[in-house]
Structure 1
Amino acid sequence: MVADRTNVQVGPGGEADLAALTDIYNHYVRETAVTFDVTPLTPDERRPWLLSHPEDGPHRLMVARLPGPDGRILGYATSGAFRPRAAYATSVETSVYLAPGEGGRGIGSLLYGRLFAALEAEDVHRAYAGVALPNDASVRIHERFGFRQVGLYEEVGRKFGAYHDVAWFEKRVT
């Protein structure tokens, strides 16, 4: 069943979502070059990532799901640490991942909208996103949310026997 964004609920993700979030991410690991992980992860391996996104603060995990007892997860958006050094604390790196078949219906925009609304209340100055190319959909959503390309790492990652560029995008948050 493909979701219509009008009946989608968006809120913080939690432990109960870990298996579904891992499944979504692993689709991109196995099938695409949008992430440079090359081996699918288990939920236990993904748990530290989940725990690095509390319900408040600058590092968030927003999950889109269908309402009701099924509550099937349609995708997620995150903001996480940009770099580990303290001076980078007001910068975040963002990403959005949708379940297979859920693209093109506005769910990614709904997720990013909620994520950036939450970040407006935080001490976040800049958001960054690395987009493995080619990925027209990701470039479009980042531009729609006010990101602009500020750099390009050429042939920085190799996956599926090919080298891939990564475009870096920046957005002013405050």
Structure 2
Amino acid sequence: MNIRPATVEDAQAIADIYEPIVRDTTISFELEVPTVAEMRARIEKTLQDLPWLVSEDASGRVNGYVYASKHRERAAYQWSVDTTAYIREDARGQGVGKSLYRELSRILVDLGYCQAFAGIALPNPASVALHESVGYRPLGVYRKVGFKHGHWHDVGWWQCELQSVAQPTAPARFRTV
């Protein structure tokens, strides 16, 4: 397995992983499948400040991705991020998600982030198990917060303390060459 920063050239592979999740499940609350162009724009925007990583299998094919986004806009939240991971269906249960999250956490600590949050549409025992296996702890549940596929759905929130810093300095930006 090879983990590296995503590039805009990964947009098709990322869109291919994400499409059935949006279309067929309530794991994502997006209602419309993003186009490859939209995915490319998301990757470019994220990489200006925060990491977006992909995992490649032995054949060099993208089998999962993880990224961080701002937790909230107010300045006091600048040391906190939200995290998201998706794994290609045939690569689940092989440690791809754990490896991606461990690398993402290492980078986030290096950049100066202190807290990471993950929202998980419930029920999703596989995602809960993944997040808890890499140090996320449950915080609470937003009840009936998303409506998709004709039903209301809850979202559970998990938190991972990346590091404890008494007097933090502004986090560095993640820039790839």
Fold match, TM over 0.5? yes
Q: Which residue of 1 aligns with 2:141?
A: 152
Unpaired segments ≥5 residues, structure 1: 1-7
SS at match of 1:124: coil
Out of 99, 103, 112, the residue aligned to residue 101 of structure 2 is 112
Q: Could you tell me the percent identity over the aligned residues?
A: 36
Q: Which residue of 2 aligns with 1:47?
A: 40
Out of 52, 62, 72, the residue aligned to residue 61 of structure 1 is 52
- Write the distance in 1 (CA, Å) between the matches of 2:78 and 2:45: 14
- Write the distance in 2 (CA, Å) between the matches of 1:127 and 1:152: 16
SS at match of 1:130: strand
User: So what's the TM-score if we normalise by structure 1?
Assistant: 0.88
Unpaired segments ≥5 residues, structure 2: 164-177
Out of 22, 26, 31, the residue aligned to residue 24 of structure 2 is 31
Residue correspondence of structure 1 range 154-169 to structure 2 within 5 A: 154-169=143-158
Q: Which residue of 2 aligns with 1:13?
A: 6
Deviation of residue 146 (structure 1)? 1.2
Aligned amino acid, residue 162 of structure 2: V
Residue correspondence of structure 1 range 76-87 to structure 2 within 5 A: 76-87=65-76
Q: How many residues align?
A: 163
Residue 137 (str. 1) matches residue 130 (str. 2): no
SS at match of 2:46: coil
Q: Which residue of 1 aligns with 2:168?
A: none
Deviation of residue 84 (structure 1)? 2.1
SS at match of 2:141: strand
SS at match of 1:170: strand
- Write the distance in 1 (CA, Å) between the matches of 2:92 and 2:58: 18
SS at match of 1:121: helix
Runs of 4+ in 1 over 6 A off after TM superposition: none
- Write the distance in 2 (CA, Å) between the matches of 1:51 and 1:94: 17
Q: Which residue of 2 aligns with 1:5?
A: none
- Write the distance in 2 (CA, Å) between the matches of 1:159 and 1:140: 23
**Alpha-carbon deviations, 1:116-167, whole Å to 9, x = none?**
1111211211000000000001101111111111121001001111111000
- Write the distance in 2 (CA, Å) between the matches of 1:90 and 1:53: 16
SS at match of 1:47: helix
Contact 1:27/1:100, CA 8 A, preserved across alignment: no
User: So what's the TM-score if we normalise by structure 2?
Assistant: 0.87
Aligned amino acid, residue 52 of structure 2: L
